[in-house]
Structure 1
Amino acid sequence: MNVSAPVELLIVEFGDSEFTGEIVAELGRLQETGTINVIDALAVRKDAEGDIEWFEAVDAGAELGDLVGEPSGLLGEEDVEAIADDLEPGTAVGMLVFEHTWATGLTDAIRNKGGRVVEMTTVPPAALAELAALIEEED
């Protein structure tokens, strides 16, 4: 795996485990514009009886399989086991590993100056909403 920008793991839970293609289409658009590079993807679904089904991008259909290409092996059965018990029946989780290719130039500039990224944290939407509410209260 050859990456030159920060890589992130995104885990999204869905209350409905039926997908119609909008998410894959948007990932394709983001990849085409050079915003991200999809490295690996995996989906886990728990049916109404509590049975677990999971599949990697290459098993999900041509569109997602083409987007990811050959899976990196970063996501696999151990990830499914770690998350499956917490899923409610009828829900699904999508896991996506992607490179922030938009940041390649910045990453190169940092490295050229002898710097290195020490930590990169995604701020959860709930924390942003809470902060916005606190700021609004102060105004």
Structure 2
Amino acid sequence: MDGKAPVDLVLVEFSGNRFDGSVLAELERLSEQGTITVLDALVVSRGADGAVAWLEASGVDDRLAALVGEPAGILAAEDAEAVADELQPDTALGMLLFEHTWAGALAGAVRGVGGRLLDWERVPAAALTELADH
């Protein structure tokens, strides 16, 4: 993480705590292509009995641990606690922190010709849909 590319925190809810590996395979593909760099990940779950647990990437899956590398410690217990109360029973929430590696290369090219990035703002998909409907 060099501070030259935008970083996003993505929260994804999984009802029924079902995982088939397809999300992880897509993260691996994006990482291998240099599109993103996974900086950290946590999984927070609430069992059918209401008990809450959370795991760092290394405790979730060897493949996810390999994507994150050495535990960055950016996401921690307080992040898990912040979302745990919102989870319904038999639900899991994945927290993924990743850097837009592709954007860092673009920013470097801009700087290379004397330019500077003035602003970078995320436009929500719902806003784009609303604009397209008008």
TM-score range, shorter chain: 0.7 to 0.9
Q: Distance between the aligned counterparts of 1:97 and 1:103, measured in 2?
A: 15
Q: RMSD of the alignment, in Å? A: 1.9
Runs of 5+ unmatched residues, structure 2: none
Alignment match, 2:15: 15
Bigger CA drift: 47-56 or 100-109?
Answer: 100-109
What amino acid does structure 2 have at the position aligned with 1:82? A
SS at match of 2:74: coil
What amino acid does structure 2 have at the position aligned with 1:85? D
Alignment match, 1:44: 44
Deviations 1:102-128 (A, max 9, x none): 11222113445362454x443333444
Alignment match, 2:54: 54
Q: Distance between the aligned counterparts of 2:118 and 2:53, measured in 1?
A: 36
Alignment match, 2:86: 86
Deviation at 1:131, TM superposition (A): 3.8
Deviation at 1:92, TM superposition (A): 1.0
Change (3 A) 1:125 1:15: farther
The alignment-based identity, stated in percent, is 51
How many residue pairs match? The answer is 133
Q: Distance between the aligned counterparts of 1:70 and 1:8, measured in 2?
A: 19
Deviation at 1:6, TM superposition (A): 1.1
Q: Point out 4+ residue stretches in structure 1 off by more than 2 angstroms.
A: 1-4, 109-118, 120-133
Give the TM-score normalised by structure 1: 0.84
Deviations 1:65-89 (A, max 9, x none): 1111112111010001100001111
Change (3 A) 1:121 1:83: farther
Q: Distance between the aligned counterparts of 1:61 and 1:124, measured in 2?
A: 30
Q: Distance between the aligned counterparts of 1:117 and 1:44, measured in 2?
A: 36
Deviation at 1:15, TM superposition (A): 1.5
Q: Distance between the aligned counterparts of 2:34 and 2:89, measured in 1?
A: 36
Runs of 5+ unmatched residues, structure 1: none
Deviation at 1:2, TM superposition (A): 3.4
Q: Indicate conservation of the 8 Å contact 1:3/1:99, yes or no.
A: no
Change (3 A) 1:117 1:38: farther
What amino acid does structure 1 have at the position aligned with 2:125? P
